[in-house]
Structure 1
Amino acid sequence: MRKLLALTAVVVFSTTTGYAADLVTPVAGSAYDWSGIYAGAHIGVATGTVSATDFTQPSGGFFTDLVPAGTEGFHFRDTNIAGGVHVGAQYQWDQFVFGGEASWTATGIRKTIVSPYFPDTDTETGRIQHYATVVGKVGYAFDRFLVYAKGGYAGGEVGFKARDNDALVTYEQNEWHNGYALGLGVDYALTDKLSLGIDYTHINLGSKTSTGNNVFDDGSLGDNPETYKVKARADAVMARLSYKFGGGF
């Protein structure tokens, strides 16, 4: 009873002195703060597209003289599992959150097709082995929810292989491609340290032109080197789990 009377007296005093609002105003800093350094892992699915166009002169094509250079192409599309790790830092100012993040992701994107030019003997394979991103992020926090957009650099290892199964000859290239990444995501702070999120990223790895020799199974080189221009891009949706170190900056 004494406690109730004391609390009533405090309320009356605060009301008469004009400070009643202070009793219902949240204490500054009581909302979740997204500031800090974080690291985590992500896993999901990625759909990748790879195209390879032969620029060998005077004629194009993997062992064909019938198709002009720059017109023969092979196209690959595959959806597969992907996953990796990420690390970043961010700072919250009012409800806005600014930061940067680096990530590395391995993918199972790999597709083998039968050659439309020599379907009885030739096969071609395109793949995206892994990619990395370094992006800037800007977000808006609703207490423990954070919605963000991101953009920046993307690079990845892209492979293309053409195989003549009768002649037992292979042309292959594995090159690092450079491009850009754009994306959106949302995170939810499960605890003061752990957050769970969902992230979408579009990765454009640009193109790379490479010349290589045809190789026989015994390791010797064939007579006709090939030049292919290879393009690659991917769209990835990932579930993310992150751990925040410290209490902010």
Structure 2
Amino acid sequence: MNNHLKGFAAAIALALASTSSMAADLSAPSFSSILPPAVQGLKPGFVWTGAYVGGNVGLAYGERQGHFGSDTVVSELGGWVRPKDDFQTFIGGAQAGYNWQTGLFVFGVEGDISYLDDVKALNMPRTVEGATYTANGTVTVLNSLEWLGTVRGRVGVAADRFFVYGTGGLAFGDVQNRASVEGTVTTRGVVTPLEPISGNGDETRTGYAVGAGTEYAITNNLTGKFEYLYYNLGTSKYDVGAAGEVADYHVRSDNTGNVVRAGLNFKW
């Protein structure tokens, strides 16, 4: 009888051991395996370190400010005028850069080049009453930024896939300027056209750009960003005058503006 009990107990123990072994082999499905395929590929704890390239589109806007005049009154339209007007225009281009992440902090460098559909003519009527004459004319100052580039540092904080940053660095662009004066002089009822006065000051200028932005990792390789920049390329200065004469008039044009843009980056 005792031998039968011992055999029965041994059989039960063997069955329990086999059941435990089978249960261990039947592991529960992981959480990631039941997620939709589009979500399964997203890595937890996104890392921003790496190179990227991309494109952007947006709006450039600001105020054009010109200064036109002469320190010595050498003609009927002497003196200084300051035409100004608001502007806004399309901007679009490409960017490339590299990020380094340590903990929550992300450091990076980015370069970009953009085209602007930007031609702004500032017109200001000008009337001067002299002792024996009346001069009527229009001063036109055309200021155009054909393209804009920047090389900037980026510093910010990342919360997994969300990145907030400040940025600043070198800005450079192709500035094209034109200035002209057209008008008439009336003396004792006789109207005489003024001799046309014109000039230009085209140049590639450098300055600075500062701003801030946000970026979000849509997938492991695609990020979207929204960015604001203020750029300042300084003041263009050039002389204008009648053909064959000393350029007695001087022009100054401020080259500043704001950029709001959105972009996509491919990261690897």
Question: What TM-score, normalized to structure 2?
Answer: 0.70
Match of 2:163 among 146, 150, 157: 146
Distance 2:230 2:20 in 1: 64
Match of 1:35 among 49, 57, 60: 49
1:107-143 Cα distance to aligned partner (Å, 9 max, x none):
1232223323167554332222221111111011111
In structure 2, relative to structure 1, the CA distance for the partners of 1:190 and 1:158 (3 Å cut) is same
Match of 1:6 among 24, 36, 49: 24
Match of 1:223 among 245, 252, 262: 245
Distance 1:230 1:170 in 2: 15
Distance 2:21 2:84 in 1: 77
CA-CA distance at 1:144 after TM superposition: 1.0
User: Which residue number corresponds to residue 101 of structure 1?
Assistant: 110
1:54-133 map, 5 Å: 54=68, 56-59=70-73, 64-67=76-79, 71-117=80-126, 121-133=138-150
In structure 2, relative to structure 1, the CA distance for the partners of 1:177 and 1:64 (3 Å cut) is farther
Give the structure with higher Rg (CA). Answer: 2
Moved more, 163-172 or 29-38: 163-172
Q: Is the 8 A contact 2:182 2:197 kept in 1?
A: yes
Q: Aligned with 1:201: secondary structure?
A: strand
Question: What TM-score, normalized to structure 1?
Answer: 0.75
Q: Are residue 234 (structure 1) and residue 257 (structure 2) matched? A: yes
Report how many aligned residue pairs link the two structures: 216
Instruction: Mark the runs of 5 or more structure 2 residues left unpaired by the alignment.
Output: 1-18, 29-42, 128-135, 184-194
1:51-105 Cα distance to aligned partner (Å, 9 max, x none):
2223644238xx65431xxx43222321111111111111011111001111112
What letter matches 2:250 in structure 1?
Answer: T
Distance 2:20 2:250 in 1: 90
Q: Aligned with 2:83: secondary structure?
A: strand
Q: Is the 8 A contact 2:125 2:137 kept in 1?
A: no
Match of 2:224 among 185, 196, 200: 196
Q: Supply the RMSD in Å over aligned alpha carbons.
A: 2.9
User: Which residue number corresponds to residue 39 of structure 2?
Assistant: none
Q: Aligned with 2:24: secondary structure?
A: helix
